[in-house]
Amino acid sequence: MKQNKIISGLDVVKFIMAIMIVDSHVKGYLITPPYLQDYLIHPVEGMAVPTFFVISSFLFFRKARYAEKQWNLVCHYVKRLALLYLFWCLVWSPIIYIQKDYFHPISATVPLLLVRDFFLGSMFDASWFLGALLVGVPIVWGLSRLFRKDVLVMLIPLLASLYLQYVKLLPEQWRIFYDWYDSFELPQLSFLNGMIWIAVGYVLSGHRVLERVNKVRNAWAWLALVVCFVWKSYFPIVPILPGLLAVVALFVSAYTWQLPEHPQLYRRFRTYSILFYVIHDCFKKIPKQLFGCENGPVLFVVTIAFCFLASEVIMRMKEVKGFGWLRYAY
């Protein structure tokens, strides 16, 4: 019973973060005062994608970390995620065709560029998260096989994150890799940035860590989150540390959150989370093109409504005979 409550808390928080991601992309926050945007909304939105990474990683490694055939589980995870990504690439292929410069004109290098963007960049807006998971999860798993200590598993992802933050302070020869990556995708939107959060999810999945987390009172976890959040928002002296602690505190708060037993509702939240993520950024273009909607609260409400409607249609149609292939949508 407790297991369901734990998962339910993660599902609810992930769904809330999905809505925050939509808000950050359509700027629904423009209706609020600037100080509220700077010290509350933007910092919360900045935690949204890292929280997606941490929860996704945790749920995978929670099963795979202590399994006998770990490599089989990694392969299954990558295959399932790749199929989901390919599904939405096909759905959004008209938009991808318009947005990608290498289709105009088409050349022999297009297949290589597609593979590059699929894994190292993004195929459609906001899809870099999926590519980062595809690359980052196997890397972190490989590090866990190479190093038995969690702190060592965290080391390389942490160095990659620090490299991205301080690359402009490094000598020119140290920026060659960054400049190459930056030529086709912002490196901050890649597995290089996602690995630290995937590694955090891996560490949190350890039995010893979970035993300690289970002993934390939920009220204290939320209080720790507030403290870390204030530190992150108002005193960002060491940028990565307060952000890291804030996301961990949010995870612990969600993990220990005692919620009423409504498993079907929380499974729905889980599905909403991934569907909102993969469809919102393309859906926001529809009211923009048809009705000239600008970024702001109106576009936010319309986009959320589109996301709810499309998600419900997909989930319900999947149960209809002949539409079982919609399971690849999420």
The answer for residues whose C-beta is within 8 angstroms of residue 19's C-beta and 6 or more apart is: 276, 304
Using the predicted structure, report yes or no on whether residue 92 has a pLDDT greater than 60: yes
Q: Tell me the average pLDDT of the chain.
A: 91
Q: How confident is the model at residue 236 (pLDDT cuts 50, 70, 90)?
A: low
d(CA 254, CA 5): 9
* Per-residue tokens: 98: 């318009």
What tens digit of pLDDT does each residue of 177-218 get? 999 999 888 899 999 999 999 999 999 999 999 999 999 999
The maximal CA–CA distance of the chain, rounded, in angstroms, is: 60
Q: How confident is the model at residue 107 (pLDDT cuts 50, 70, 90)?
A: confident
Which residue bears the tokens 């529809």? 286
pLDDT at 238: 66
Does the predicted TM-score (pTM) go above 0.85? Answer: yes
The answer for residues whose C-beta is within 8 angstroms of residue 243's C-beta and 6 or more apart is: 46, 47, 50, 232
Better-scored residue on pLDDT, 219 or 185: 219
Using the predicted structure, report yes or no on whether residue 164 has a pLDDT greater than 50: yes
Residue 103 has phi, psi (to 5 degrees) of -85, -5
pLDDT at 273: 96
Using the predicted structure, report yes or no on whether residue 2 has a pLDDT greater than 70: no
What tens digit of pLDDT does each residue of 257-282 get? 989 989 899 999 999 999 999 999 88
Contact assessment for residue 259 and residue 12, using Cβ atoms and an 8 Å cutoff:
yes
Mean pLDDT of 128-132: 96
pLDDT at 232: 82
pLDDT at 250: 97
